[in-house]
Structure formats: structure tokens, C-alpha cells
A and B are shown apart, each in its own frame.
Chain A
Amino acid sequence: MRKLLIGNHALSYGAKLSRAQVISAYPITPQTEVVELLSEMCASGELKAKFIKVESEHSAMASLIGASAVGVRTFTATSSQGLALMHEMLHWAVGARTPIVMGNINRALAPPWSVWTEQNDSLSQRDTGWMQLYAQNNQEVLDSVIQAYKVAESIDLPAMVILAAFVLSHTSEAVEIPDQKKVDAFLPSYKRKYKLDPTDPHAFGGLTNTENYYELRYKIQKAMEKALDKWEEVGEEFEEIFGRKYGLIETYKVSDAKNLIISSATIASTARNAIDKLREKGEKVGLLRIRVFRPFPAKKVRGILNSIDKAVVIDRNIGFGASGIFYQEVKAAMYNEKNTPPIFGVVAGLGGRDVTSKHIIEIYEDTIKKNKPKSDIIWKGLKE
């Protein structure tokens, strides 16, 4: 069935089709529609889940960690300040190995108040151990929630499905809603191996001395590495059943490309249009969209950049004191490679400023003609 859905409702449908059993959330613009629709679904009985209307995002995450530790499937959604308030519990979810799936609407952090899109909220959580997936359209938002459960539950780590504020969250697109029976076959119910259970009592997360903590961290890293293969496997299996293909990255016109535009989320989506226009002008340019950011698909990135002349990364985020964050990651992945091309880093569209196809063409033309970047940040559209 095809339906017109805003990105937020695509998240709700993703959670519903995945048969989330405990949902806990606190409202924040621009996330509210996600949980409003889920509240209605729970109230009508369409979704058989417990919905806990908590008093903060910190509590939202804490309650899901508790529920997940007992062995049920859990969902929440938040954005920006809400995600920042959750920070402590994001770490807890990882250490407790709870495969929670959360939607995060990328919104710029205050002050000053802004409700528009920017990736610094989720990227500030980069090192918590959450998997992060940046979606480019509403179909991908819905499909990714279902896939995220499958990956998360196979490695006992939580996952964040991330979408741009308003550009996706409040924009209606035609979305194919998968058949529930097919989703059930793809995603069986959650079976937790080590759970909170009075018939087999254990203490989870107690004081752990130096003999053991290090190894527990090693196991989280190993799970993340395993997730790299899982996202690909799950993407293939998803394609077999539902006909839509997903992987760690997505490429567009790279087979004969000399130069590359690298980005994520909706800027990457717009970049396809820019690439078509640049190709009309004779430019051999392709797109690398980084879909899964954690775990970082470094091998995939190397596989493509090793045979490229030059690349430009466009970041809708900034690591203050350094540079755009995807740019840092791409450069780090390429550092020990023999054929590392010059890589340019552009920071654009902070606080939701539009990044159009025209801007991307300008970014490409301004950077690629140079031999190598003169600085770690090239600002686009800065009013000085």
C-alpha cells in the first residue's frame, strides 16, 4: 500500500510494523508527530504496545533500557536538546547492550533557539556506541527502522535512525508501506539471551573492576565491527523481500567518475540532481552517500576513493575547533592509503540554511579545480 507520509509518520509506521512493545517518549519540536501517531495507534489497539508518557528524554531512554533488559522490543524518538539530555542514558543503553531503536530528527542545538536542521545533535553522540543511520527520504526512514531492529538485535547494540528536520520530518512523500506479514517474516520477535528474570537472577551493570571492564569495551567494538556486515546482509535480505536495496553506503554514477561528491542525508539526495547537471557539462562526477555513519564503513569508502582524482565532502555539521565531521572521518579512513586523493571539506547549511542543487554545483566547481585544499574548512554561503 502506498501512502503519503511525512518523515515523522514514516518513523511511526516503522515502529508499528516492527511491533514495538514498549514506547516511551517526551515531546520536542520537530519530533512530536512521531509519538502523536504512535499514541493513537496504541490507544486504538492497532499497536499492542505500552506507551509510557515520561517527564523527560532522560527518563524516556532510561525506561526503554529497563524494558529492553527484560527482553521486549522498544522504540522512542527525539531531537536536538532531547537527545543531548539523553546523553548519559545513551551510554547506558550501549553498556547494558540493549538494542533500542530510536528516531532522531536532526535539529540545530541552542542557543540561540533554532528548530531547523543540522547534524550536530546526533554527531555529538558519535562515541556513545549507538549505531547511526542517516536517511535521505521518507521511504528509507520507514524501511530503516525495520532493518535497524534486525541489525541491533543481532549484535545487542542500539540504533538511531536519523532524518532532517522539516526537510523530511514534515515533508510528505509517497511511501510504500510494507505488508505486515512480510515484515513479521523478515523481523521475528525479539529474543534476549541475558535478561532480567527472577527465575534466573543476575546483577546487571554492577561495579566492575579493572580485570573485566576493558574486555567488555572490546566486545562492544567487536559488535560494531560485526554490524558492518550485518547492515549489508540485512539490506540484501530486505531487497529480496521488499524490492528496495540498501547498504552501508550508496553510490551514484561512480563507475566512470573522476571526482566525487561525498555527503549524507538530504544533502546527498539533492547532490544527485547537481551531479546530473554537472555531467551535462561534461564533468565526470559521482556521489558517495554515507548512509550508516556508525559503524563507519571505512573499507567501502576506501574502495571507492582509491580510484578517484579528487573528492569534496559536504557537511551540515561542524566539529568546532576542527572541521566538518564526515570530512574528518573520510580523511581518517584514507590516511594510510597509497592513492589518497586530495579531499576538500565544506561546511554548509548549518541551522537549516538551504543547500540547493545550485549550491552543490558551485561547491564542486570551486573546489575540484584547485590542486588541494588550503584549509580544513571551506565555508559555503557565509555572510561576512
Chain B
Amino acid sequence: MSLKIPEEEIMSCGNLACQGCGANIAMRHALKALGRNTALIIPACCWSVIDGPFPYSSVNVPIFHTAFAAASSTAVGVKAAFEILKKKTTVVAWTGDGSTYDIGLGTLSGSAERNDDMIYVCYDNEAYMNTGVQRSSATPAGAWTTTTPANYPKKNQKKDIISIMASHRIPYIATTSVAYPEDMVEKFKKAKNIKGMRFILIFCPCPTGWKYPPQFTVKLARLAVLSKLFPLLEIEDGIKWKLTKKISRPQPIKEYLQLQGRFKHLKEKDLKEIQDTIDMNWELLLKKLDK
């Protein structure tokens, strides 16, 4: 069986990512799907550093680095200019969860409401990793971060960014994972051929911030999907919800949690609470799915 992933490597090997970085795998596959006629807009996030220090760059497509809250707002200007110049370049805002869930959410909402023509990608590693693992509103309840110490871990649930985006009724939303590169490539290819605002959320485990050995990145990403924590979805026009990976025999969340240092302070009852929340979220999701 051959993989449905383009062979051409657009991104060079060798950059400043940590060992086992999920966001690195995400970029590699996104570019394979999108091709070279792509421009990346990158706000403050791990990828501000990963690409390489000036004058080096590792992606072989143009990058415009921008301010933390300015990913989609910079991207809409870039797209407008390409349109004026009659160039059909795919404009991609490539962002972390800090800019998507927190500081740039208002800006993202503005772009979504206007249906700006871009692919907005959030590689979600569930905290401010680039600044040293501080909690974001993408950090799951129960997790340790440097601003939610183990004796007072995060209380609040992770923000439901997918529902927020869906309520803007944008043409295309997808969730994907570094454990499923074919899914990732397929969704990016699909997104490329849609006009308007497209939002792709990529689940990107982070060995540095989640405190696990780097060889477990793909394993954790896979467990998150198989444990129903991170459903692989496509949503058209905000209303047609489709599960792209059915989970026939879900795994308990326990293994996923116990592989990571950020959850090691959790007691049995905490694990059960997390499992209950996952089950509840899944039930809610099933109700939204297009029959």
C-alpha cells in the first residue's frame, strides 16, 4: 500500500525545532499538500523561532513574520495585494494556540466574519510553549504549566475553538493530527481549493511542554484521537459536521494522560473526571454530526 502523501519535500531538513516537535511534522505535511505557491504569515509562536535565525529559513516558501495578535489581519492584507497583482498564491496564517485561542481571537473572528480568503492554521500544543510553557485557554483542565503549578493545576476546560469557528459559518473547518499525515494532507488539499476562510486545527503534542520523551509525539497524538479526546472532523459552512475518523473501540484516556509529566500529579478521581468530560463532549459531538 502506498501512502497518499506527495513525495516532494518543500521544507528543508534542519531547523530550530525541539526534538519530537509536533508543529514541525505539521508544517512538513501542510507544505507537501499546499505546494510552493504559498505564502506563510506567522505571528509570535514556536514557529517564529523554528524556521531558523536570520538570515536562514527552512521552509522554501515566503514567510512574513508578524505580531502576536495580527496573524489573520496581516494575512488578509497579503491576500488583497496578491489579488491586486493577479497572483493566485495560497495565503496561510500559521499560528499557535496562544494567538488563535487568546490574543488574536478577536482578529480571527473579524477575518472569519468577513470570510477573508485564507487558510488559517492553528497548530495546537495547548500552552505558550515558546515562552516556556505558560497556560493558554487551549490548555486542558488538570494540566500543569509554569503558571498553573502541580498543586494548583488549571481548573478551566479547554476553550471549544471549533464551535466558535463553526458559529461564524465559514466554508471549511477541519481538525487533523500529526499522527494521521494522510488525513492532514487530504484536508489541506481540500482546503486549498475552497475560497474564503478555511480553519484547520492540528493537534501537535509538545515533548518540551507536556514533559514526555520525544519519541512519543505520534503515539500521543494517535491516543488523543483513539481516546475520543481529539475527534478528526470536517465542518462545511459551519453546519455540516462530519467525523472523518470513526472510533469503533475507544481507548480509555488514562494511558494518554499517564505518558505525560504535565498530568502526573493527577489522582484516580481526577482521571475519572477527565474521562467523564471526554465522554460528555463526545455525546454532544454526536448530536452535531450530519446524519
Contact = CB atoms under 8 A, between A and B. Distances in A.
Interface in A15-74: 21-22, 24, 49-50, 52-56, 58-60, 62-72, 74
Contacts of A71: 81, 85
Among B66, B81, B85, residue most surrounded by chain A Cβ atoms (within 10 Å) = B81
Interface in B61-87: 61-67, 69-70, 73-78, 80-85
Interface string B220-261: 000000000000000000000000000000000000000000
B101 to A, nearest CB: 17
Interface string A166-202: 0000000000000000000000000000001110111
Contact of B106 (A55, A92, A200, A212): A55
Given A198-B89, A202-B62, A72 B53 contact: no
B52 A206 contact: yes
Contacts of A197: 62
B114 A89 contact: no
A50 B73 contact: no
18 contacts: A22-B84, A49-B84, A50-B80, A52-B76, A58-B69, A59-B107, A66-B73, A67-B77, A69-B78, A72-B85, A198-B61, A202-B62, A202-B63, A203-B65, A204-B65, A206-B51, A206-B52, A209-B53
Contact of A196 (B39, B52, B76): B39
A66 B76 contact: yes
Given A71-B85, A212-B54, A205 B64 contact: yes
Nearest to B47: A206
A62 B67 contact: yes
Among B61, B62, B73, B113, residue most surrounded by chain A Cβ atoms (within 10 Å) = B73
B38 interface: yes
B275 interface: no
A92 B80 CA distance: 19
Contacts of A58: 69-70, 73, 107
Given A201-B57, A206-B57, A66 B62 contact: no
A202 to B, nearest CB: 6
B84 A50 contact: yes
Among B55, B65, B83, residue most surrounded by chain A Cβ atoms (within 10 Å) = B65
Interface string A265-297: 000000000000000000000000000000000
B107 A56 contact: yes
B253 to A, nearest CB: 36
B51 A203 contact: yes
Nearest to B91: A66
A132 to B, nearest CB: 22
Nearest to B60: A201
A214 to B, nearest CB: 13
Given A66-B64, A66-B80, 14 more contacts: A22-B77, A22-B80, A24-B77, A52-B76, A58-B73, A66-B78, A67-B78, A69-B78, A70-B78, A72-B80, A74-B77, A88-B70, A196-B78, A201-B59
A59 B73 contact: yes
B219 to A, nearest CB: 30
* Chain A residues touching B, range: 35 or more
A321 B51 CA distance: 44
Contacts of B49: 207
A62 B76 CA distance: 9
Contacts of B64: 66, 69, 96, 196, 204-205
Contacts of B39: 196, 198
Contacts of B73: 54, 56, 58-60, 62-63, 66
A96 B70 CA distance: 14
Contact of A206 (B65, B77, B80, B107): B65
B77 A63 contact: yes
B67 A55 contact: no
B37 interface: yes
Given A55-B106, A206-B48, A72 B84 contact: yes
A377 B48 CA distance: 46
B115 interface: no
B265 interface: no
Contacts of B51: 203, 206
Contacts of B59: 201, 203
Nearest to B58: A203
Contacts of B127: none
A208 interface: yes
Given A198-B61, A205-B66, A70 B114 contact: no
Nearest to B66: A62
Interface in A71-93: 71-72, 74, 88-89, 92
Contacts of B197: none
B148 to A, nearest CB: 27
Contacts of B65: 203-206
B189 interface: no
Contacts of A198: 36-39, 61-62, 89
B193 to A, nearest CB: 17
B271 to A, nearest CB: 39
Contacts of B36: 198, 201
A68 B51 CA distance: 23
Among A21, A55, A74, A89, residue most surrounded by chain B Cβ atoms (within 10 Å) = A55
Interface string B107-146: 1011001100000000000000000000000000000000
A203 B77 contact: no
Interface string B90-113: 000000000000000011011001
Contacts of B80: 22, 24, 50, 52, 63, 66-67, 72
Among A63, A198, A203, residue most surrounded by chain B Cβ atoms (within 10 Å) = A203
Contacts of B70: 58-59, 62, 88-89, 92
B41 interface: yes
Given A198-B36, A204-B64, A206-B65, A66 B107 contact: no
B84 A52 contact: no
A78 to B, nearest CB: 14
Among B36, B39, B114, residue most surrounded by chain A Cβ atoms (within 10 Å) = B39
A197 B36 CA distance: 10
